Structure 1
Amino acid sequence: MASWNESELVCLWKGIRCGSSPGGKRVTSLELQFCGLAGSISPSLGNLSFLVTLRLSGNQLTGQVPQELGRLSQLQHLNLSNNYLEGHIPETLGSSGSVYKARLKAQSDSDEKLVAVKVINLQDSEALRSFFVECEAIRNLRHRNIIKIITLCSSADSRGNEFNAIVYKYMLNGSLDDWLHHKRDGKNLDLGRRLSIAIDVASALDYIHHHCGTPIVHRDIKPSNVLLDADMVACLGDFGLARFVERNSGDSTQFRGTIGYACPEYGTGNIISKYGDIYSYGILLLEMITERRPTDDMFTDGLSLREYVRRSVPYNAIDVLDERLLVEIEKHDACDKTHIKRTKLECASLMLEVGLLCSEEIPERRMSTRDIINELNGIREMFMQIT
């Protein structure tokens, strides 16, 4: 495998697809599920810099996944399930580094626990800066809805190379983004669960904005940064872009965050503020109920996720609901359960209204975290009356 990308013959092999490029054909897809492969994964796997798809599930592969896998920046599909891999397995590939699933051993094997290890890409100066920002931001945070940090690592590896990593509590149920957009094994978030997650995230924001000593602005609220534990409790993670409000009260900000979720005033150089997080939260809330990303292809020619929802709420909220929520609500269409249908639809509509109020274009018009929590708790009380 060490030289396979140097020959076009490999493009004829079973399970391998090549794309065309100015420099010749390059491997873009490796799909070898259930081929009966066995043995250790070759270190040469790291040469697949143009790989888009990697599926090796169903084989009996062992050994460590090469560190180079974290450099596959174009990778879109990764499936290594059902293998007997050991060591660190990349779970996500990001520009700031790779996140690995690992086990921490205590005094006995029964005390072993799963953790997520974020290894910082030291070739990226911005990633290293984010590492130190995140360390400072989260070291004193203690809240049920903030991802728990086990430890921080800043040392050198066996070759003397600098090594920086953050070890988090492993979140068994992945991210909110997984559940909304990747249809995790056919599982679904019902309306009650989405409401609980929305309250959890709002509680996390209220804590970092008002109750953690020096107020913190997260600046990157989005579904992939909302993680769910074994009990489906939502925790806010990834504080790499966070800022302390008091230290930056007079500073304008370069555009940071994620397109579609970042507030409009950040694009014009306005100062960092809590209002920016509220805007991002509002967009997240709209996405949770509609299952539409703010960057969806349908949002063109001036149409945005917010405008899409605003045109239908409150009177025609049913027109913009996630299809899975629609199925859940419509099943109560029988005569004796129409009140349940009406209540669920009203709850979903009210959540969309909160999202609209949080994502107002003028910052001062946005809701406060305390008002968000009070409003959502009121919706939950209404919801609990029918469950």
Structure 2
Amino acid sequence: MKKKLVLHLLLFLVCTFENIVVLAVQGPASSPISTPISASMAAFSPAGIQLGGEEHKKMDPTKKMLLALILAGSSLGAIISSLFCLWIYYRKNSSKSSKNGAKSSDGEKGNGLAPYLGKFKSMRTVSKEGYASFMDYKILEKATNKFHHGNILGEGGFGCVYKAQFNDGSYAAVKKLDCASQDAEKEYENEVGLLCRFKHSNIISLLGYSSDNDTRFIVYELMENGSLETQLHGPSHGSSLTWHRRMKIALDTARGLEYLHEHCNPPVIHRDLKSSNILLDLDFNAKLSDFGLAVTDAATNKNNLKLSGTLGYLAPEYLLDGKLTDKSDVYAFGVVLLELLLGRKPVEKLAPAQCQSIVTWAMPQLTDRSKLPNIVDPVIRNTMDLKHLYQVAAVAVLCVQPEPSYRPLITDVLHSLIPLVPMELGGTLRVTQPTAP
């Protein structure tokens, strides 16, 4: 419409210019609009020259031609100025309309994506190392047989983990979370966002996520041997966990923590390290899971973190004063190491209203070499080199020190465990095979 308007105005100005030239040369009688044009152009005539009547007819031809040229030049200048103004006007309006069009287009896109991004903010956190894909809820429902009770692998604070089998025959673990509360939604988004960034052999792999109303789903790789908690304190009571396997699990856990503390930028504090969050694959390789409560090291400086975690694994300074650092994870690792050594739960009931932590119970005996072999888990008792047992006990004691500054860095723990794990399990220990009789 604007282009047509400009063209019409241009045509009108050109026609007007032609009429002015004709009027100036032929006189007012030859133009059907001579009277208006003469009256309007009188103001532009030099020395107040009048264009009508006998004076015009008696005018000298040379003067007549000169006057025509002056009038034509003046008219042409006016036309050019008008066209220039129209051109600027058109450019400004075109620019505005294009910007408005772009804004409206972006707005339409934003409106279309707003519900998606609102529910799945974590999808915007995509690192160079990996990404998470949104999965259709119907696919997860079918793969878990409508989340049948028989497919439950474990239970957590906000929901259950189910075993899923997809059409192509592959398996996965699906965590189903009830996110009606703000805390649950926050943990869900936090975990998906962090796992998108992580890529390490001792961190659980994220395969995807989904949503259905207030329910959220996180899809992980399936860990066939379940959690360390199930293996140690479940029906088998640790019978599948030899001494070397336990040291391998401790080493894998330390490697996962070292990745979080030393290789992530910014560093990450797990905040809920425990045996139920250490998962074991078919070959008993350990991987850290459940990052809903994990925080970056920078976030701990805000001093507004709500006390979260599991009783028995919480470091004293965090439990009493709310001070959270990477040394809090080291304390929790020490508790896990004691579980592996002793086969006991982190907190055990002595009476209906009385509990005792594994740290409080074991600490006096861990440093006594005469007592230590007697409190080791019966499943592995007398199956290890005593020197190795004393060394692991010493590491555990350091990790659970009440004062954080006395605890080692997880990197130091890692280096102290590597010589205790056989080479075929990822360590440097050369295991001498017993000689056949």
Same fold? TM cut 0.5: yes
Residues 146-202 of structure 1 show CA distances to partners (whole Å, capped at 9, x for unaligned) of 001111224x4xxxx344211000001111111111143984201000000000000
**1:269 alignment partner in structure 2:** 321
Report the AA paired with residue 260 of structure 1: G
For the residue of structure 2 that corresponds to 1:277, the secondary structure is: helix
Q: Name which of 211, 217, 220 aligns with 2:269.
A: 217
1:349 aligns to 2:390 (yes or no): yes
**2:155 alignment partner in structure 1:** 93
**2:289 alignment partner in structure 1:** 237
1:115 aligns to 2:166 (yes or no): no
| Counterpart-to-counterpart distance in 2, 1:135 and 1:371 | 30
| Counterpart-to-counterpart distance in 2, 1:174 and 1:201 | 15
- Stretches of structure 1 that go unaligned for 5 or more consecutive residues are 1-62, 70-79, 81-88, 330-340
Q: Name which of 357, 378, 393 aligns with 1:323.
A: 378
**1:139 alignment partner in structure 2:** 196
| Counterpart-to-counterpart distance in 2, 1:68 and 1:378 | 44
**2:181 alignment partner in structure 1:** 124
Structure with higher Rg: it is 2
| Counterpart-to-counterpart distance in 2, 1:225 and 1:386 | 33
| Counterpart-to-counterpart distance in 1, 2:179 and 2:148 | 13
- Stretches of structure 2 that go unaligned for 5 or more consecutive residues are 1-142, 423-427
| Counterpart-to-counterpart distance in 2, 1:312 and 1:237 | 31
Aligned partners of 1:221 and 1:277 also within 8 Å: yes
**1:13 alignment partner in structure 2:** none
Residues 21-51 of structure 1 show CA distances to partners (whole Å, capped at 9, x for unaligned) of xxxxxxxxxxxxxxxxxxxxxxxxxxxxxxx
Normalized per residue, the structure richer in strand is 1
| Counterpart-to-counterpart distance in 1, 2:246 and 2:238 | 16
Q: CA distance change for structure 1 residues 140 and 353 in 2, over 3 Å: closer, same or farther?
A: same
Residues 105-140 of structure 1 show CA distances to partners (whole Å, capped at 9, x for unaligned) of 3xxx4xx21100111112333222110111122111
Aligned partners of 1:188 and 1:324 also within 8 Å: no
Aligned partners of 2:307 and 2:322 also within 8 Å: no
Report the AA paired with residue 103 of structure 1: Q
| Counterpart-to-counterpart distance in 2, 1:250 and 1:295 | 31
**2:216 alignment partner in structure 1:** 164
**1:305 alignment partner in structure 2:** 358
| Counterpart-to-counterpart distance in 1, 2:272 and 2:294 | 8
Aligned partners of 1:145 and 1:201 also within 8 Å: yes
**1:23 alignment partner in structure 2:** none
| Counterpart-to-counterpart distance in 2, 1:188 and 1:239 | 27
Alpha-carbon RMSD across the aligned residues, in angstroms, is 2.5
For the residue of structure 1 that corresponds to 2:346, the secondary structure is: coil
For the residue of structure 2 that corresponds to 1:132, the secondary structure is: helix
| TM, length-normalised to structure 1 | 0.67
Aligned partners of 2:225 and 2:282 also within 8 Å: yes
| Counterpart-to-counterpart distance in 1, 2:374 and 2:331 | 23
Q: How does 1:58-97 map to 2 (within 5 A)?
A: 80=150, 89-97=151-159
Deviation, 1:265, is 1.2
Q: CA distance change for structure 1 residues 384 and 310 in 2, over 3 Å: closer, same or farther?
A: farther
**2:164 alignment partner in structure 1:** 102
For the residue of structure 1 that corresponds to 2:344, the secondary structure is: coil
**2:97 alignment partner in structure 1:** none
For the residue of structure 2 that corresponds to 1:167, the secondary structure is: strand
Q: Name which of 176, 181, 185 aligns with 2:233.
A: 181
| Counterpart-to-counterpart distance in 1, 2:238 and 2:411 | 35
Residues 265-294 of structure 1 show CA distances to partners (whole Å, capped at 9, x for unaligned) of 112233321011010000110111101112
Normalized per residue, the structure richer in helix is 2
Percent identical pairs in the alignment equals 30
| Counterpart-to-counterpart distance in 2, 1:191 and 1:233 | 14
Residues 22-81 of structure 1 show CA distances to partners (whole Å, capped at 9, x for unaligned) of xxxxxxxxxxxxxxxxxxxxxxxxxxxxxxxxxxxxxxxxx9876696xxxxxxxxxx5x
Deviation, 1:296, is 1.3
Aligned partners of 2:153 and 2:163 also within 8 Å: yes
1:150 aligns to 2:236 (yes or no): no
Q: CA distance change for structure 1 residues 99 and 233 in 2, over 3 Å: closer, same or farther?
A: same
**2:64 alignment partner in structure 1:** none
Aligned partners of 2:272 and 2:293 also within 8 Å: yes
| Counterpart-to-counterpart distance in 2, 1:240 and 1:358 | 24
